[in-house]
């Protein structure tokens, strides 16, 4: 097994039955030797179905399923007992649903984040990484706004966890190939009808696989100091190319951008550039607080003042064959 801080430790994943949670759990169980992995989620059926999968059934002596909701602070107190590391992946993330049910998004994505932070400090968790989204940068929909709020909470939490206390960091990345709610399964279903609905032919998105996302989170547990917002260097894709990659013989129909949707996604705004460093595989947005050491991530270089990491201005673009390979994998 690889040397890693996860070895012989207890790791808890909120939203552990989701696409990311399952991939993350599989990697750390296959490649490391954690003492225990706790899957924390509110859906007992998804937990039951996950437990029956061969890749998890063989680890039944090291995996536990804990029913609970991040809205329930008391339940989190029980779940976080003796836990070393936490990955916070639980969220309400369907943009149209959140526009229609804003209070529910706030209860889970904002109040839930506050609960995670309070309980992690109370229980003496060593490190916490929260998952963010490109929609949290310059948000125009409620989902993005709640995740921006969550990001700010996790970064600021380092200020009151104290020296030697819990360290918090955030990972922000773009659209995940094939995740629940992704355009890939949607396009595959629509391909059977012969026509793919496209919001706007100019639309671009950042693109990452679930495997890449999970491994990026694992890597950042080792190098985080607490307070960072990590953004991976990933390619962009054009929605027309994605349509051709999935169903080359289908016609397309432009249906217009939905409420709360952007033409292009941004992961680092110009306003964040002055606090951003570039590493080999990612960018790190440092917190603008006095407790942050300028020597942290000294191997990185400061980006230009006018730097902006947006999907339409990316230097790395996926071709149709590359998209087809990613979708197949």
Q: Which helix (H) or strand (E) holds 207?
A: strand 204-208
Write down the residue that tokens 């225990």 correspond to: 36
**Residue 194 pLDDT > 90:** no
pLDDT at 324: 87
Find out whether 97 and 143 touch, Cβ atoms under 8 Å.
no
What is the bridge-based pairing of β-strands 10-14 and 85-88?
parallel
Per residue in 261-314, pLDDT (tens digit) is: 889 999 999 999 999 999 999 999 999 998 999 889 999 999 999 999 999 999
Domain boundaries, the chain: 10-174+208-233+267-310
* DSSP string across 89-144: ------HHHHHH-HHHHIIIIIIHHHHHHHHHHHHT-SEEEEE--GGGSS--SHHH
- Residues forming beta bridges with residue 87, ordered by sequence position: 13, 129
Q: How far apart are CA 311 and CA 268, in angstroms?
A: 10
3-state secondary structure of 82: coil
pLDDT in tens, 234-244: 999 999 998 89
The predicted pLDDT at position 181 comes to 62
User: Measured between alpha carbons, how far is 121 from 165 in angstroms, rounded to an integer?
Assistant: 7
Q: How confident is the model at residue 185 (pLDDT cuts 50, 70, 90)?
A: confident
Angle ∠(135,150,127) on CA atoms, nearest 5: 115
% of the chain exceeding 70 in pLDDT:
98
Alpha helices in the chain (DSSP H): 19-31, 44-52, 54-57, 73-79, 95-100, 102-105, 112-123, 142-161, 183-191, 210-223, 239-246, 320-328
Per-residue pLDDT tens digits for 199-225: 889 999 999 999 999 999 999 999 999
Output the CATH code of domain 10-174+208-233+267-310: 3.40.50.720
Mean pLDDT on 24-52? 97
Q: Active-site residues: which are they? A: 135
């Amino acid at each position: 097994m690889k040397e890693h801080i996860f070895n012989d430790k207890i790791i808890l994943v909120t939203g552990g039955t989701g696409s990311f949670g399952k991939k993350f759990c599989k990697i750390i169980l296959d490649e490391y030797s954690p003492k225990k992995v706790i899957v924390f989620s509110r859906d007992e059926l998804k937990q039951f179905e996950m437990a029956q999968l061969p890749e998890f059934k063989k680890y039944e002596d090291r995996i536990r399923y804990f029913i609970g909701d991040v809205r329930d602070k008391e339940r989190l107190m029980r779940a976080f007992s003796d836990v070393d590391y936490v990955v916070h992946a639980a969220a309400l993330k369907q943009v149209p649903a959140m526009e229609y049910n804003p209070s529910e998004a706030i209860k889970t994505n904002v109040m839930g984040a506050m609960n995670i932070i309070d309980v992690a400090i109370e229980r003496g968790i060593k490190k916490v990484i929260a998952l963010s989204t490109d929609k949290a940068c310059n948000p125009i929909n409620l989902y993005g706004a709640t995740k921006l709020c969550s990001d700010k909470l996790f970064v600021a939490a380092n200020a009151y966890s104290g020296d030697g206390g819990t360290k918090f960091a955030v990972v922000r990345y773009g659209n995940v190939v094939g995740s629940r709610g992704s355009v890939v399964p949607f396009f595959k279903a629509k391909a059977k009808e012969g026509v793919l609905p496209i919001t706007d032919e100019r639309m671009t998105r950042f693109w990452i696989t679930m495997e890449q996302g999970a491994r990026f989170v694992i890597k950042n547990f080792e190098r985080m100091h607490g307070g960072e917002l990590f953004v991976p260097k990933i390619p962009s894709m054009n929605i027309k190319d994605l349509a051709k990659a999935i169903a080359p013989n289908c016609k397309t129909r432009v249906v217009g951008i939905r409420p709360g949707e952007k033409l292009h996604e941004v992961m680092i705004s110009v306003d964040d550039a002055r606090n951003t460093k570039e590493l080999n595989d990612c960018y790190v947005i440092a917190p603008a607080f006095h407790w942050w050491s300028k020597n942290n991530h000294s191997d990185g270089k400061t980006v230009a003042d006018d730097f902006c990491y947006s999907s339409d201005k990316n230097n790395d673009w996926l071709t149709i064959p590359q998209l087809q390979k990613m979708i197949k994998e």
